[in-house]
Structure 1
Amino acid sequence: MDCADILFVFPKAQHSHSNDKRRIVSKSIEKQLKRATLTDKIYCNVFFNYETDIEKRIALFAEEQVYTAVRELNKAIRRTHREMPLNGNQTQTVIDDYEKKMEKLESFFPSDKTDHYACHKLEVLLQRHSDVSAFSLNDGQMQIFTKEEKSVRCYIEEFLPKNMCPFTVRQWSSNPKISKCHLKQGSKVSRSNDHSQEYGTLGFFLRDNEGSLYFTTCAHVIQNNKEVYTDTVESAVGKSVMAPNVYADSITDGLDLSLIKVFKEKIEHCRYGLRDSTDRFVTGIVALANDSEMKNMKVYKWGAKTELTKGTYKGSIFVREGEEFKNRIHFIQNNPTNAEFAEEGDSGSLICFEATDSPQLSSKSAAFIFVGKCLSGKEFLPEEFKEKDLFAGLGYHVSNAFECKTRNLNPMLTPGNDNGSIQQGAGIQF
């Protein structure tokens, strides 16, 4: 019996040793199925019923099945053409038209050959081992970062089905330090409209069900309950209603998000929509695609310091935050025209993907919010970019902004109020 594609889901554990309970369940299942000639280790297929990785695994499985079916069908059509030519009759015309449509559909599939479904099984195992500090999937190979290489290798050998996903193990000395612009110990902070002082960047606007308007920036830029000034309006435009305490230069101090509620009398100054790379405001979407599938796509951002910069997205590293892993370090290959993709003053910037007319990215897409540049940790860069101009920055998914305590928030990514001076990429004074 082949259990490679079977998921085993059971109720949430009643004690803190959740990984131990998963192992006990997987061993019990293996024992029961031993007579059925079990061909795969199943620990990576055992989940609690609340885990989001269940949905991801099912989605990747369905995606793999669709890709395989379409590619096999296209091969069969081409083979039929070679073996049974129909000499231009009406049936031939119909088949030709169908073939073109199927080839168009296949052209939207990712060009890389990475088996994301198989690699997800390794990803699940890595999230369950306390000695794994971070991991990243690059060009079909998983890079695993740890301080205990021997322990992690033995663990993978025990629980990962053979030849499932190629991987390398690399040393992780500590989390790289982050340059968070500008609030850190010793920084001078001005809470006036003197815009020669330190500043961050407005990310994007949101509205709640009651009609209140908000925008995002970083918590280390605007702390909770602090008023906010911009360089286009003389008086304060809003006040932070949510911002965690993030004072250290570490990656894992929580979500560096400050939610600013715009004063009612200042709403008329706000300009909505997604700002594209030609400085137009267009309708955009929030990108939810798998990061590894976005590799090599074109990105851009509008920042208060460097304004428009462009680059190519090269993937991310998932870093341990408590019991979870979050993709916090993102790699962007700088455009030759940029001095650097982002600098101090750009914290809070929205990092966007260019539209590709594909099902994945049918329009401009807001993907990440930039927090700060990695000051250390070149050893964590993908091997192929160690000698190249690669920007490594801390960031988080735009979708994380909707998970804060202010409920029912919706992004304002449709153009409106063309005369608004407070807009995506505007400078924020604190």
Structure 2
Amino acid sequence: MKTAKVVKRKHSKELDYKPGNGKGIQTHPSFGTNKKIFKNDLESESTCIQELKYPSGAFPSVYFTQVSLRQDRAFNQLSNPLDNDLEKFKNSSSLLNSIMEQPKVVIIRYGSQTESLPDLDFVHKGHHEEIQKYEDGYIYLDDDISNTCTPYVVVFVVRTIDSDGKRRLSRQTRFLLQRVRDKMKTITEDSVFIIQNTRYTERYSPNELIEIATEIEDVLQRNSKSSFKNVFHENEVELFVRLGLIMQRHMLNGMERLFQMLKNLKTTGPNSTESTKQVALPDKPSSKVPHQQEDDHLSHYNLSQFMAKLKKEINQRNHCLELHTLRILCHRNALVHSFGFDDGTVKVYLNYAEDEKAVKKYFQLYMKTRVLKLTFHSGPFELRGRKLSYEQGSRIDISHSPIFEKINYGTLGIFLKNKRRELFFTTCAHVIGNELKAYCSNDHSVLGKSVFACERLSRQSNQWLDLSLVKVCQDKVFTCRQGLKGTDSSDTFSEYKIFPGSIEDLIGRSVYKWGATTNYTEGKFSKFISSKDGFLQIGIESPTNFATEGDSGSLICLKIGEQDSDDRYAALVIWGGPNMTNETTKNLFNCYYISDALEEIRASFSKGEDMQMSALTDNPIPISSSPIYACSSNFDTRNVSSTD
């Protein structure tokens, strides 16, 4: 789990509590005769509410769910039913458009409306614009918002103090929560409490977070114990993940309602859909059905396809919020070593088997409502695995030995460039160590030299890395094809895009990789285990070996949707795995996030501060007199015979 750095502000100060100042939280109804009185009550100098609207891409959980729906051919017709003579779908369209709105963060904090909002670190995570009251899309917190299906989340900014050696809420925060409790109809259990950084703030232990959460429960007069799992430091890495998953949960609630509405329209009444019309399949147009007719009307087939897409996304994403919550609770418990997920079952790995009873009680206390099955296993679980490198074949060689000698090799990952336009690529450190040369597989000429390598925990994310950065020789630059390789084709490349989501966002997604040994393989991301000592192991459902020896350094990529050929992302790097001959551990791999690798290069490599992903290039131009095969991310070797 990534550890947040606490930032202490120079000019931060605690505000004095004056009972005469506080009149209530800044919420207001959209209708009613008391609007003016309530509005004045909310415009107090002691409380502040602000609503921020972000682009969907700022929250990957929201973005990828919306993309999956938007790419269906029925989406545009359902979004604009009146334009498509589909008036009976008007209510369904309104619900769908609410689901597809931009994500909103409702921030409730102590202070005046004139205080600068960017004082909060988490606000900097993405570009945003503030929604003013009475504008379209504004969320009125005095209404019952529990059934709202737009992607939104409510966060409370809390301040803490040290009182007699204990962490306590400041008087201002207690007052704020009291006013919120009195004014809001509902304070949902998925509300997030963010501890604001001040010069007094320190990195709180889990026990101290429990003290703060317990006091929040007392002030709000509820006994659900739900606040602990939703308390985060202002600049904690997992905070934005949680915000996005809560937004996604609200969307999924709306999607379930939308599915039922469409199901009713489809199955009731003669005019529910145009099921009586002959419908052309998308890939085989029929001459009996005019193309214009299919465009103008929502066919039975298209509606069924959209409903299937809707149901699939609901089923795959339905437990992501619960999964992330359980993962955070595990990492906050000293008795737990690792956390895993396997085919709908959560696996908790304990330091000692005798701790099972205490850990069960911990989950029963702080997460009473669960859907996922929870199992407990003795540990610690060994996740170091075996490095995927062996003596045979060729890809990125670590030797210039004659071709009749056996040599080790690995796989090229991603190309990078600095401001001086020098070209680099990544692979694993156990393949190409620091200051060692990398060799071409066909003629054993020098491809480049490693200028930075590490096999250790990242200084930035505390995640295990097996990373080597190789600077490409100038005479080989034009033989390199830069860009992210597509699915099952050596000729389809797109601009590099790093997957911005969490591990929960990958569950159920289709993934693929290109490797030096197994070439192109694909499968479904099905399981993972995350340990406190920085190791990540994942499982891929695949009918064949997804990766094996020699594939170290391969990128695990995914494609979102089916229509946009450029909507591909690089997510993880494979560096090892358990015993490949054991069927029970087949297609389990040790990985790290490609984003962690980039952060480490920029922070720890002396010349890496300005390192960026290389832009897409055209086909490489061989400049050597000897036969040269172009080097590329996830190189295709199906048509290349081995020289060994």
What is the CA RMSD across the aligned residues, in angstroms? Answer: 3.7
* Residue in structure 2 matching 1:79, options 258, 264, 287: 264
- 8 Å CA contact retained: 1:74, 1:103: yes
State the match for 2:543 in structure 1.
Answer: 335
Out of 65-74 and 105-114, give the one that drifted further: 105-114
TM-score norm. by structure 1 comes to 0.78
Offset of residue 330 of structure 1: 1.3
Distance 1:135 1:231, change over 3 A: same
The one-letter amino acid of 1:281's match is T
1:386-415 Cα shifts (integer Å, max 9, x gaps): x76731111112222221232343334735
**Equivalent-residue separation in structure 2 for 1:253 and 1:66 (angstroms):** 31
What is the CA–CA distance in structure 2 between the aligned matches of 1:88 and 1:177, rounded to whole Å?
55
Corresponding position of 1:319: 531
CA deviations 1:249-305 (Å, max 9, x no partner) are xxx983111111223332112112233423223215433344445445443333223
Q: Distance in 1 between matches of 2:272 and 2:515?
A: 59
Partner of 1:278: 489
Q: Deviations over 1:30-70 (max 9, x none)?
A: 22223xx3444311011110112221111111112222223
Counterpart position of 2:611: 409
Question: Which residue is equivalent to 1:203?
Answer: 413
Report the CA distance shift for 1:313/1:228 in structure 2 as closer, same or farther (over 3 A).
same
The offset of 1:86, in angstroms, is: 5.4
CA pair 8-177 structure 1, distance change in 2 beyond 3 A: closer
Matched letter for residue 172 of structure 1: G
Identity across matched positions, percent: 24
The amino acid across from 2:591 in the alignment is G
Greater alpha carbon shift after TM alignment, 258-267 vs 6-15:
6-15
CA deviation profile, 1:343-397 (whole Å, cap 9, x unmatched): 32221122233564179x963432221101213998xxxxxxxx76731111112
Q: Partner of 1:305: helix, strand, or coil?
A: coil
TM-score normalised to the size of structure 2? 0.54
Structure 1, 272-281 or 119-128: larger mean CA deviation: 272-281
Work out which of the residue numbers 493, 517, 521 in structure 2 matches 1:305: 517
- Cα deviation digits, residues 164-184 of structure 1 (max 9, x gap): 65311112244144221449x
SS in 1 for 2:454: coil
Q: Tell me which residue corresponds to 2:428.
A: 218
Amino acid paired to 2:599 = E
Alignment of 1:2-81 (within 5 A): 2-12=187-197, 14-15=201-202, 17-34=204-221, 37-79=222-264
Contact 1:298 1:311 in 2 (8 A): yes
Secondary structure at the residue paired with 2:587?
strand
Check conservation: 1:329, 1:394, Cα contact below 8 A: yes
Q: Whole-Å Cα distance in 1 between the matches of residues 209 and 308 of structure 2?
A: 43
- 1:8: how far off? 0.9
Rate the CA distance shift 1:95–1:230 in 2: closer, same or farther, 3 A: closer
CA contact (8 A) 1:333 1:390 kept: no
Moved more, 76-85 or 391-400: 76-85
Q: Helix, strand or coil for the counterpart of 1:346?
A: coil
Residues 6-51 of structure 1: per-residue CA shift (max 9 Å, x gap): 11111358556522321221122122223xx344431101111011
Task: Decide which moves more: 160-169 or 10-19.
Answer: 10-19
Instruction: Give the counterpart of 1:269 among 465, 479, 482.
Output: 479
The residue that corresponds to 1:168 in the other structure is 375
Instruction: Indicate the residue corresponding to 1:345 in structure 2.
Output: 550
Supply the AA of the counterpart residue of 2:633: Q
The question of whether the paired residues in 1 share the 8 Å contact of 2:338 and 2:380 is answered with no
1:118 match: 322
Query: Larger Rg: 1 or 2?
Result: 2
CA 1:375/1:133 → structure 2, altered by over 3 Å: closer, same or farther? farther
In structure 2, the residue matched to 1:382 is none
One-letter code of the match for 2:213?
S
The count of residues paired between Structure 1 and Structure 2 equals: 397
* 1:401 partner letter: A
Give the secondary-structure state (helix, strand or coil) at the position aligned to 1:121.
helix
Distance 1:95 1:43, change over 3 A: farther
Q: Per-residue deviation at 1:4?
A: 0.8
Q: Which runs of 5+ in 1 are unaligned?
A: 184-188, 379-386
**2:363 corresponds to 1:178:** no
Question: Which structure would you say has the larger RCO, counting Cα contacts within 8 Å and 6 or more residues apart?
Answer: 1
Q: Evaluate the alpha carbon distance shift between residue 246 and residue 168 of structure 1 in structure 2; reply closer, same or farther with a 3 A threshold.
A: same
Q: How big is the shift at 1:81?
A: 6.5
Deviation at 1:217, TM superposition (A): 0.2
Q: 1:332 to 1:118 in 2, by over 3 A?
A: closer
Which has the larger displacement, 271-280 or 210-219?
A: 271-280
Amino acid at match of 1:202: L
Structure 2: give runs of 5+ residues left out of the alignment: 1-185, 275-292, 391-396, 603-607, 623-629, 638-644
